[in-house]
Amino acid sequence: MIGILTDVTKCIGCHKCVGACVDANKLDKHIPAPQHTSDGLAANRWTSIIKQPDSHYVRKQCRHCLEPACVSACIVGALKKTKSGPVVYDKKKCIGCRYCMMACPYGVPKYEWDTPVPYVRKCTMCYERVSVGKQPACTEACPTGATVFGDRDKLIAEAKLRITKNPEKYINRVFGEVEVGGTSVLYLSDIPLGFLGWKDDLGKEALPKLTWSALSKVPTEFLGMGAAMTGAFWIIGRRNKMRAMKVKEEAEKKAVENETGDAGTEEKGEDSNE
Amino acid sequence: MNKRQMVKSLLWLLIGFGATSGFLRLVHGLGATTGLSDATPWGFWIGFDVMAGVALAAGGFTMAAVVYVFGLEQFRPIVRPAVLTAFLGYVIVAIGLMMDLGLPWNIWHPMVFWQYRSVLFEVGTCVTLYLTVLALEVAPIVLEHPLFSHPIFHKAYKILKHLSLPLVILGIMLSTLHQSSLGSLFLIMPFRVHELWYTSNIYILYFISAAGLGCAMVIFESTLTSLIYDHKPRQELMQKLGKIASVILGVYLVFRIGDLLVKGKLGVAFNGTGTSTLFIVEILISTIIPSIFFNWKKINGNTKGLFWTAAMVVFGFIMNRQNIFLTMSKKGPAYFPWVSELMISLALVAGATMVFIFFVEHFDLFGDGAPDNKKEIGEKLITGPFFGADRSFVKGVAIFTAPVIAGVGLALMLLPSSAIKGYQYPNTPVKDAVGWDTLSIDGNRALESVLFPHAQHQQMMGVSRDSCMTCHHMSRPKDGPTSCSECHQDMYLATSIFSHGYHQTLMGGNKSCDSCHVNTKAKAEVLSCNTAECHKLLPSDTTSYLADSYVDAMHKKCKDCHEEQAKQADGFIAMGEQAKADSVKALGYCTACHPGLPPESKVRLSVTR
Ligand code: SF4
Ligand code: SF4
Ligand code: SF4
């Protein structure tokens, strides 16, 4: 499992990674106007530098969650978590519902609002580069080693080592180790990084679990409702039948109606079994 | 014009307006025609067309359950309109969704690429299946029409009639799932959805509220149709239905408040913020007040009282479905739906109403296909009112074309310019640098100015035409050295600075076309500006001139030269002039111009912007 480790204390805000990403992925060079993107990310900027007080620079990019909310949300499986780690996008499948954008706890996927044939765009951890053994363009371009590429477990070990060596320099936490079920892109920092996501503390639980707790009940709900309705129909139908028996005059008429009704019950029974 | 024609004209007007907006939406894309942005990927269409549309269609399955399953025969006359409303509601959902999807022509993809772990997949599947079921439930109404007297139709009709009970039950099952799964959509956004609306049981709330709302919607729409068609409203039935609704709404209230109590969040509802007020208003008008009114003799005893109470529930739950979006935390600009979004939604509702009216006028919507009705309908058909004109088809078209055209015209007038012309990038106009010997350059006035020692550069490079032109590479006609912001007008976007009109006048009108347009047959073909010996300094491939964005222009101009200078450092070191070497080297760093950057950014900017 591969990953990226960004050490905020080492970043000098030179934007080299941003430029490298733009070049490597052939993104449009228009600079996204700040009023459109509060975090600097846009359909044509897959990574950005967010300026923080006291000369802090934090690079934002897709976190490549281990259990990505975007992937679980996607209606057609256009977003996929690959075995090696990157979360990639297949534009041929996408229908443009933008549920992934709503689901991502970091607000990473962005949309091409300016065209009539728009796609979702986000960092792919340079999937094409890494699958041929190269490293991502951004980590390669970084002049200070603030953002490095490697095996996720080794990066976590490295991060912890840096913390033990310089405990007063860092917040004692590898950001992304356990957040929302763990992410492939990790951070070390001396300032809180809550602004990258929706909330300071996103919790340890993977978001797809929240949905699954409801979704797993669906078959029960479906068949249960079918059974309940069939049952109700049968009981009520029977009660009406009994009542009808008492009324002499209409007895014949009603008996016929109820027979057809009974036939319906059987058919419907099969239905709910399906 | 009578009452009905007025209503229909208004509907046609809305359809004209909406159709224009919808067309422009497909041509220019979402950014140009909606207020949606990366900060608000889901807006009014999802909140209203989809969320509220589905909820409002709940009358179909509730009424079907009441009559077919629970055997409350007295409600049978309302079943058909309710099922038809549900069908039309889902058609609205489907078309509204098509408008909202970025790639609507891929809408069939979910049927091929199954993703059972996605809630949206469940929603999509249920919509498709339920729409089919509803179509089958509506079909008999159509097949009863004398037009379909062929035996094949008759057979189909019989089969459908036989299947009606299983279809109804399947419909109820699908509705249950998907009313609730619309709530489940929000489960994955625990950080965005406000805590007063977020609960892990949201799908239960959505289901119960849909059932209650369904009853209210039936009251609302049957009263409305009886008003338009001067029928006598079925007062007693409606009263009973109101009571059923109030029970369901009561259950909903208990669940909603109980859930907040258990989570300990009830306090948030009364903390006096705008959001809490919104919550209280929503609960009051969607549940508390209506459930009292539905049981209050004074109000439920008359048609008006019932109608307005039902309307209150309908409005309350539209509000409920919208509030979850309104109160969502977001990063970035605020969202407000554009006219185009509102009008497309309104037009969809208008279109659905029109079809409903068509059914009322042409089919036996309120009966149950009794043979006498059939004859009457047949007669109506022969006089052939077209979508509402109470006269002939041609006259109908003639009358209702006017409102459609008016709608189109209104749309063109009221829509924002980007919706008509296409996407427009947001501008960030550049303001001129200020100062003389030292210029403060801060194009967008972001208080991050670069202090440019103009006098020092002049001194260094000497004041001559050529040296000035290193930076002032082009000047406006009859101007001295023109300042950068005259052409590089936008902070982030390139600006087209070629003025065709100016050249035309200057060169003497039409007779001079061929001085630039070399081949007069193909007018578009243009000689490059510098081969015509007019602008020798322009790049040779320039035909229409785009000036770089301000940021780009500044960086290019300064960086290239500075990097050139910085390269001399090695030479100075070789000559043993360390101090000079250091000073030229510093020119190559970001900090040379941007002193706000940390001192350690001693890195050369080359690819970056
Ligand atoms: S950060 Fe967002 S876009 Fe990236 S993998 Fe996680 S959920 Fe998906
Ligand atoms: S917008 Fe595309 S990638 Fe995103 S959830 Fe919808 S179909 Fe999937
Ligand atoms: S990993 Fe690749 S795609 Fe992602 S930010 Fe870096 S360069 Fe861009």
- Tell me the per-residue pLDDT of B479-522, one tens digit each, with 9 for 90 and over: 878 888 888 888 888 787 888 888 888 888 877 777 777 766 66
Q: Could you tell me if A206 and A236 lie in one domain?
A: no
> Bigger pLDDT: B229 or B556?
B556
Which distant-in-sequence residues (6+ apart) come within 8 Å of B350 by Cβ?
Answer: B10, B11, B12, B14, B15, B18
Q: Examine residue B23 and state whether it is found in any structural domain, yes or no.
A: no
Q: Do A178 and A256 belong together in one domain?
A: no
pLDDT at position B382: 37
Under a CB-based contact definition with an 8 Å cutoff, are residues A251 and B207 in contact? no
Look at residues A194, A215, A236 and tell me which one is the last residue of a structural domain: A215
Which residue from B187, B424, B363 is spatially nearest to A36, judged by alpha carbons?
A: B424
**Residue B98 domain-assigned?**
yes
| Residue B574 domain flag | no
Q: Is the same domain home to A183 and A125?
A: yes
Number of domains in chain A: 2
Q: How confident is the model at residue B51 (pLDDT cuts 50, 70, 90)?
A: confident
Regarding predicted confidence, which is higher, A213 or A5?
A: A5
Which of A142-146, A147-151, B228-232 holds the top average pLDDT? Answer: A147-151
CB–CB contact B603 A14 (8 Å): yes
Q: Which of A195, A215, A235 is the last residue of a domain?
A: A215
Q: How confident is the model at residue A111 (pLDDT cuts 50, 70, 90)?
A: very high
Same domain, A180 and A271: no
**pLDDT by residue (tens digit) across B359-374?**
887 777 776 554 445 4
Residue B599 has pLDDT above 80, yes or no: no
Cβ(A136)–Cβ(A130) below 8 Å: yes
pTM tops 0.95: no
> What is the distance between the terminal CA atoms of chain A, rounded to a whole angstrom?
41
Q: State the distance from the centre of ligand 1 to the C-alpha of A105, rounded, in angstroms.
A: 7
- A141 with A244, same domain: the answer is no
Residue A248 is part of which domain span? Answer: 219-274
Among B426, B451, B505, B432, which Cα is nearest to B31's? B426
The verdict on residue B157 lying in a domain is yes
Domain that holds residue B261: 36-328
Smallest CA–CA distance, residue A21 to chain B, in Å, is 10
Nearest CA in chain B to A13: B601
The answer to whether the CB of B399 falls within 8 A of the CB of B10 is no
- For residue A96, pLDDT beyond 90: yes
Pair A210, A226 in one domain: no
Tokens of B419: 């919706």
Give the pLDDT mean for A97-117.
Answer: 92
- The three-class DSSP label of residue A43 is coil
Q: Domain boundary at A198, A215, A232, which?
A: A215
Torsion-angle region of B460 (φ positive above 0: left; ψ -120 to 50: alpha; else: beta): alpha
**Radius of gyration over alpha carbons of chain A, in Å?**
28
Q: B403 or A261, which is more confident?
A: B403
Q: Do A223 and A211 share a domain, yes or no?
A: no
Q: B536 to chain A nearest CA, in Å?
A: 28
Q: What is the pLDDT of residues B83-120, one digit of tens each?
A: 999 999 999 999 999 999 999 999 899 988 888 889 99
Q: In whole angstroms, give the CA distance from residue B125 to residue B39.
A: 28
Say whether residue B603 is in contact with chain A using an 8 A CB cutoff. yes
Evaluate whether residue B460 is within a structural domain: no
Segment B148-160, tens digit of pLDDT: 878 888 888 888 8
pLDDT confidence of residue A68 = 95
Contact between chains at B165 and A264 (C-beta distance less than 8 A): yes
A40: domain CATH number?
3.30.70.20
Q: Which of residues A262 and B131 earns the better pLDDT score?
A: B131
* The residue to which tokens 């250091």 are assigned: B582
Cβ <8 Å between B192 and A102: yes
- The whole-number pLDDT of residue B498 equals 81
What are the tens digits of pLDDT across the range B244-294? Answer: 999 999 999 999 999 999 988 888 888 888 899 999 999 999 999 999 998
Residues A250 and A266 in one domain: yes
Query: Separation of A90 CA from ligand 2 center, angstroms?
Result: 9
Q: How far is the CA of A76 from the centre of ligand 2 (A)?
A: 7
Kindly tell me if the per-residue pLDDT of B418 is higher than 60.
yes
What is the pLDDT, as a whole number, of residue A196?
92
Confidence label for A175 from pLDDT (cuts 50, 70 and 90): very high
Report the distance separating Cα A217 and Cα B256, nearest Å: 20
Whether the per-residue pLDDT at B600 is higher than 50: the answer is: no
Percent helix, percent strand, percent coil in chain A, to nearest 5: 40, 15, 45
What integer pLDDT is reported at residue B386 of this predicted model?
Answer: 46
Catalogue the long-range contacts made by B555-564 (C-beta closer than 8 Å, 24 or more residues apart): B555/B605, B555/B609, B557/B471, B558/B593, B559/B605, B559/B606, B561/B470, B562/B587, B562/B588, B562/B592, B563/B588, B563/B604, B563/B606
What is the pLDDT averaged over residues B399-424? Answer: 85
**CATH code for position B180:** 1.20.1630.10
pLDDT mean across residues, chain B: 83
Same domain, A257 and A137: no
- Taking only the tens place, the pLDDT of each residue in B189-230 is 999 999 999 998 899 999 999 999 999 998 998 888 887 777
Orientation of helix B151-184 relative to helix B202-228, angle to 10°:
130
Are A239 and A186 members of one domain?
Answer: no
User: How many structural domains are present in chain B?
Assistant: 1
- pLDDT, position B500: 82
pLDDT exceeding 90 applies to what percent of chain B?
Answer: 25
- CB-CB under 8 Å, A16 with B65: no
What are the tens digits of pLDDT across the range A213-251? 888 888 888 888 888 888 888 888 888 878 777 775 665
**Confidence band, pLDDT 50/70/90 cuts, at residue A264:** very low
